Amino acid sequence: MAEEIPIDVNVGQEFFAEQVSVSHSPIRFVVDFVKNTPRIEASTHSTRLFTSHSVVLLDPYLAKEFLSVLTDNIGKYEQKFGKIEKPAALLKFEKEAHKHGKKPERQDYFG
């Protein structure tokens, strides 16, 4: 008869990411999920931006497996709900920025 091993599960807090960046070193991939929350200071009525990060470190093999699973799930999602498109508001923002000679910069990692 196999011995039962008790398992304690620490459920993490959900995190809605608005941005994600990825970098790597020879031994790991760093996936940085970012959330920005604007807040208005009551005393000064000025706006402050609070940024939260949730960083996940993956060894190269697990990063590759994650990519495979994510690709598979995106394919299934698009079969069921239709192609994932860039949101109209983001397209409008990019068009306005381009009109003013600004080009969005792509970053691999920040934090």
Which amino acid does the sequence have at 26? P
Asked if 64 and 97 sit in the same domain, the reply is yes
Structural domain boundaries enclosing 20: 15-58
Q: How many domains does the chain have?
A: 2
β-strand partners of 20 = 33
pLDDT of residue 39: 87
- The token duo for 91 is 């397209």
pLDDT of residue 106: 57
pLDDT tens for 33-56 read 999 988 888 888 888 888 999 999
Q: How far apart are the first and last CA of the chain?
A: 50
Asked if 69 and 46 sit in the same domain, the reply is no
Asked if 97 and 64 sit in the same domain, the reply is yes
Burial class of 47 by CB neighbour count within 10 A (0 to 12, 13 to 18, 19+): exposed
**Edge-to-edge order in the sheet of strand 29-40:** 19-24, 29-40, 47-58
Contact 15, 33 (CB under 8 A): yes
Q: Is residue 5 part of a domain?
A: no
Q: Is residue 8 part of a domain?
A: no
∠ Cα 11 67 81 (to 5°): 85
pLDDT of residue 26: 94
Contact 19, 110 (CB under 8 A): no
Query: Residue for token digits 């000025």?
Result: 46
Query: Residue for token digits 């109209």?
Result: 88
Asked if 40 and 68 sit in the same domain, the reply is no
Q: Is residue 10 part of a domain?
A: no
Asked if 79 and 53 sit in the same domain, the reply is no
Q: Is residue 42 part of a domain?
A: yes
Q: Is residue 50 part of a domain?
A: yes
